[in-house]
Amino acid sequence: MQWKKAATPQRDCQYEVAILRVDPQTQATQMLIRRAENCHVPRHWHTASEAITVISGTFILECDGKRETLAAGSFAYVPSRTVHQVWTKADEGSLGVVAMDGPMDAHWVEGTPPTPKKP
């Protein structure tokens, strides 16, 4: 598995993705996402629907103005084109499995993310 830094409009958010599988026909994508503590991924949406399973830590998800705090073992589903944002706690990161039912993309509501710095 290879972890790659991901870019968000918030430069200090430590956020990494490891692609587990991409379906060759549909481009449906399964991945692991890990975020450091005190991370905020601002409002965005995806063309595909997103299913999130929290493996460790706490994952805070806001969809359509409704915020939920998800502990390890929790599941959330974000329908296609739903604007959402996520956080981790100030003292705790998170690890989760994300399954997209189509190609992975991100459309930022406020601004374009910077290019991630190479290690």
**Mean pLDDT on 88-108:** 94
Tell me the pairing of strands 66-70 and 15-22: unpaired
Over residues 60-77, the pLDDT tens digits come to 999 988 999 999 999 999
Q: What's the CATH code of the domain at 36?
A: 2.60.120.10
Residue 37: both structure tokens together: 């503590």
115 lies in some domain: no
| Contact call for residues 69 and 115 (beta carbons, < 8 A) | no
pLDDT: which is higher, 113 or 98 = 98
119 lies in some domain: no
Over residues 18-49, the pLDDT tens digits come to 999 999 999 999 999 999 898 888 899 999 99
116 lies in some domain: no
pTM score: 0.84
119 pLDDT exceeds 50?
Answer: no
Q: Which domain holds residue 8?
A: 4-107
